[in-house]
Chains A and B, each alone.
Chain A
């Protein structure tokens, strides 16, 4: 392990239950020596105690008692790995349909999805659902581990039939790139090193594919956006506006528009954790000073042209996680960037059929269904389409009684639904 600084890749594992996601992550961590001796001992001890062999690799990430008892993943486990060039934040997501909201939690911040498919079963409905959600959430790169190849005697034909299925759906959903790798997570073939057991395969190992994947670059695409979190009072009077940058790079001297007010202003200084600077890139927490005196506050947005639209009515794609169905007329609270405001469902405009990707008409959205809806909001919001900006194009819906987060929302609709 090198101790120099490096870049950061966030990835989420997706796929159906029992296809081997947790085992693959366990294998990846063990074979790259990311686990400490005592952690490995604890996994071995727990495996033997529960009678599931000498070393059940899924126990590396399935850390809750109920998960180990039932042999399933209930919620996302976050694990960390580093190679000489990259640092990885790995969200190991559950496969069961009732935990789809947890999978979405893990995938919403991911640059790349590591998809695990059992070669014996091909793409199951739940894997398709996960791929649809990943595509909706804006994940653009896939590394697909075609797993359990040892159980089909490393048959190139069996592998190719999964690859064909993946090629088709990746094309339909519009992923920018995908790489398939034949693996045995259980035995470790093609996980970290390319194995001689699949001499017919000429591509990289899973780790090799992750190390060179060009994911996440779109975070910094488009025009600069700075949602205001907090107003800082400076010594001797004056104010600066704090928040996290996204979109393109902001420079001192840039002209910005304060939204929803629509007032133009100029950036006179930029400060981050390390002090004054000339620029701010996506992902950096900053505070900026403005030339003009404004009444900007939390919930407002500083944006460069092309400007987001200011609206009280949103057409959006909704992943519904609530226990009771979502219906037209329902009242909720929306949180969009740093602004929170009451909202009402004006109309439900369809539900996505996961198998056909068609939009069917519906009167309600049940738990874990994905649909299209029109919302009206009390305050005006400054929004971009989600496909243009992951921050100003996303929101969550909150139950006003329990305060639970009940939906993930994306402004506009994904290109595969056009």
Chain B
């Protein structure tokens, strides 16, 4: 046994290796599936995913549309970034609105301040059926959650859009096989093996643009469920809650009423990379109320067809 570690792939560092793996998956699914779509929310992970998709097929245009499941409770900075990015790339954007699912009576309106997070699964599955998509690329990472840590890179969904964690297809080597019968579909996760730190190191290396709310800024916030929530149309102070101005940034971007901000002075990519490298709390633990319902909140939502 040697004392000096040998590089597993000579001259490939971990970001090159992760980039190459993601590009490989994007090309493989695009080639094997009839009608793929890339889920793009404007968040950092889906921004990296879209950036990689552009690289995978450059100089051709993207061979698939991008889709946003719009809860109607987004941060305006994120929607602005979504539209600007899609226009810059000349990509085709499909917007599936939770409000339309409510209007059609597919889901119950939780009220102006209620969470629409869980309703997204219905809107997503209806859009997949309506457009006949047989594969949906998502930016989910296995380090985010214990149920995601169990999921295949190509994750099979039955005719009801459900994930069955007890009966996943074997996935050997890099032989990703994307064959599905009519009505079934795949979710494909090219960023499965990336960690939060890898994402930020890659964004810094590529000097990618992101929504401004990822960088430290002054914002009016209030403390609820031990999280800093941004005061705005979807978060109104309740009795006894005090609002204050703080220097914050967002580590994850979901709906405005269930995504917490973290106190931070990191206003550059280099500062964010450093902050993430020394963090004591996970990104979802710090910022996502939607994961706190139960021990298996993510697993339960994924079984229903969630991202």
Contacts and interface: CB of A to CB of B under 8 A. Distances in A.
Given A38-B282, A273-B23, A405-B172, A74 B17 contact: no
Interface string A211-245: 11111110110000000011011110000001110
A53 to B, nearest CB: 16
A410 to B, nearest CB: 10
Contacts of B3: 212
A66 B12 contact: no
B172 A104 contact: yes
Interface string B273-307: 11001111110011000000001100100000000
A340 B178 CA distance: 11
A63 B174 CA distance: 24
Identify the interface centre among B57, B146, B174, B195: most chain A CB within 10 Å of its CB.
Answer: B146
A217 B4 CA distance: 13
A80 B150 contact: no
The 4 closest A-B pairs by CB, nearest first: A63-B146, A38-B285, A216-B8, A36-B282
25 contacts: A1-B197, A3-B201, A3-B273, A5-B14, A6-B13, A7-B9, A45-B295, A64-B150, A75-B165, A78-B142, A111-B8, A212-B5, A214-B5, A216-B6, A216-B8, A219-B8, A230-B31, A242-B56, A273-B55, A283-B20, A284-B9, A285-B19, A285-B20, A285-B56, A333-B179
Interface in B1-42: 1-17, 19-21, 23-24, 27-28, 30-32
B263 to A, nearest CB: 16
B170 interface: yes
B59 A232 contact: yes
Contacts of B59: 232, 234-235
A273 to B, nearest CB: 5
B200 to A, nearest CB: 9
Interface stretch (A81-89, A188-196, A342-350): A81-89
A253 B299 CA distance: 51
A159 interface: no
The A interface is mostly helix, strand or loop, or mixed, namely mixed
A56 B147 CA distance: 17
A74 B58 CA distance: 40
A85 B5 contact: yes
A179 B2 CA distance: 12
Contacts of B30: 230
B159 to A, nearest CB: 13
B171 interface: yes
A46 B282 contact: no
A321 B168 CA distance: 12
A394 B8 contact: no
A86 B5 contact: yes
B150 A109 contact: no
Contacts of B265: none
Nearest to B282: A36
A413 interface: no
B1 A213 contact: yes
Interface of A: 1-3, 5-10, 36-39, 42, 45-46, 49, 61, 63-66, 68, 74-80, 82, 85-87, 89, 101-102, 104-105, 108-109, 111, 177, 179, 211-217, 219-220, 229-230, 232-235, 242-244, 249, 272-274, 281-285, 298, 321, 333, 335-336, 338, 340, 390-391, 394-396, 398, 402-405, 408
A109 B173 contact: yes
A283 B195 CA distance: 19
B129 to A, nearest CB: 19
Given A212-B1, A234-B59, A63 B177 contact: no
| B-side interface size class | 35 or more
Contacts of A214: 1-2, 5-6
B192 interface: yes
A5 B13 contact: yes
A90 B31 CA distance: 29
Contacts of B16: 272-274, 284
Interface in B160-174: 165-166, 168-174
A298 to B, nearest CB: 6
A271 to B, nearest CB: 9
B153 to A, nearest CB: 10
A76 B21 CA distance: 19
A74 B165 contact: yes
Given A79-B149, A321-B170, A398 B24 contact: no
Contact of B149 (A78, A285, A402): A78
Q: Which of B30, B60, B273 has the most CB of A within 10 A?
A: B60
B20 A273 contact: yes
Given A66-B166, A283-B9, A229 B27 contact: yes
B207 interface: no
Given A212-B3, A216-B9, A229-B24, A109 B149 contact: no
Given A76-B150, A87-B14, A403-B179, A1 B278 contact: yes
Given A5-B201, A396-B172, 4 more contacts: A45-B295, A105-B170, A391-B174, A403-B177
